[in-house]
Amino acid sequence: MKRLLPVFLIGFSLALLFQSCSSGDFESQISPYEDQNGNLFSEEVIPETGLEAQNGDSGAVSGSNSGLHSGLVSSYGSSFGLGSGSDSSSGSSSDPKACSASKLQDILAPATSSNAFVRVDCNLTLKSSDVITKRLVYEGAGASNLTLNCNNAKLKGNDGVGDGKDMITVKSIQDGSAYSRPENIKISNCIVEGSVRVMGLGQNGEAESVLLSSLSSDHTARAQQAAPRNIEFNNLTINSKNRIPLYLSPGVTYSKILNSMFKGTSGSVVIYLDAESAFNIIKNNEFNVTTKSREVIAIDGSANNQIINNRLFGLNNGGIFLYRNCGEGGTIRHQTPSYNVISNNYFYYHKYDGKLPSIWLSSRDGAKNYCELDRGYTFGSSESNQDHASSNIISNNKIQKFSPSKMIRLGGSATNNVITGNKQVE
C-alpha cells in the first residue's frame, strides 16, 4: 500500500502530459527522448500537478486564564475575553485554547541563561511590537492542534542567550518505548532571527536513536510514526546566522513551508529534508541566503515531497540536490530521494558562471569516505551506496541565463525521472 500514492502521482502526472496529445501525434508535439536509465526528457510545458498532501486540522487543547497581570489584561485582554480587574480562572474566553496570562507573561519575559526557553501548550497571538527572546518549544502530543500568530513580532535571542539558535522547535518526546508527537500546528507571520527545527527520533540522521532504529528493515515507518506531522509554517521571515534556517529531521511528514522569506547566512544548506521524511510541501517561498559551501535545498533520502513555485537566489553552491547520505555516523538511510515533484521554480543567476547545477538528481552516488560505516546489512544504504533518485518529476522550471541541459544534472543512479518543460530565461 505504501507505493500506491507514489505510483499514482507519477501516473497522474504522465497522464497530464499525454492528455494534451489527444491527436495521437505525440512525437510531433514534444519529441521526447529517454536516456539509458529511463529518464524521460522533454522541453514541452505541462500543467502543474495540483497534487497536495492531505492534511487534517482538528482537535483542541484546553487552556486556562488565571493570575492575570494588569498590564497583560490591558494589552492582551481581548484574547482572553476578560475585562480589567478580572481574575476569573474559567471566564468566557473567546478562545478557550488561548494562552493564560501567566503563560503569556512567561513567554514575554526576557530570556536568561537559566530560563532560555518556554514550552508552548496553548494558542498564542502576539503583537507586532513584541520581541520574544525565549526559544519557543512545541513538545509532544500535548502541543497538537495549536496556532501561533506572531503578527510580525520578532523571535530573537537575547544578549547571547539563544542568539542564532532554533527560536522555534517542534519535537516529539519519548514516552516509554513509543514517542509522543505533536501534530497539526500552524505557525504564521513571524520574523525569526535564528532558525527553526522539527524533529522526531532525533535531531539529525546521526542521533543515537535514529542509528539504532535504522538497523532494522522497518525503520522508515518507525521514524515517520515517531516524528511530528502536519506542521505548517506560513509567511515567516527567517534570518539565519550560520545555522541551517529550517531543518526537518528524520521522519517528518505532511508539513508545509509556505509564502516565506529566507535570508542571512548558513554554514550548510537553507532547508534540509532529512532521511525518511516525506510528503512535505515547500511552496511560494524566496531563498536569498549566503551558504558556505552547500546547495540551497537538500533532499537527503526524502520522498514524495513537492517543491513548487519558489524563487531561488544565492546559487553559487547549487540549487536543489537529491541524494542519500550513505553511512554517515553509521546510520543506514533506507528511503531513496524519489517521487518528488520540483516544478515551476525560478532560479536566478547574475554574476555566477553556473558550474554547479540548479537541480541535481543523485548528486553523490557514494562519493563520501563514510559510506562504508553502515555496512553489514541487506537493505538501504548498507546494501547500496548509490543515491537511486528515481521517479521524480522536474517540470516547468525557469533558469536564468543557462540552459536546462546544463543546469539539470543526473548522476549515474538517477532512473525513470520525468524532466519536461524546463526553460532558459533572460
Q: Which range, of 48-52, 151-155, 163-167, 339-343, averages the lowest pLDDT?
A: 48-52
- pTM for this entry: 0.82
pLDDT at 281: 98
**What is the largest distance, in Å, between two alpha-carbon atoms of the chain?**
77
Residue 2 has pLDDT above 60, yes or no: no
Beta bridge mates, 398 = 346, 423
Domain locations in the chain?
A: 4-62+194-425
User: How many percent of the chain have pLDDT more than 90?
Assistant: 72
Higher local confidence (pLDDT), 377 or 11: 377
Q: What is the pLDDT of residues 33-79, one digit of tens each?
A: 788 888 988 754 333 333 333 333 333 333 333 333 334 433 444 33
- State how far the Cα of 252 lies from the Cα of 72, in Å rounded to an integer: 36
Residue 336 has pLDDT above 50, yes or no: yes
pLDDT at 137: 98
- Calculate the average pLDDT of the chain: 85
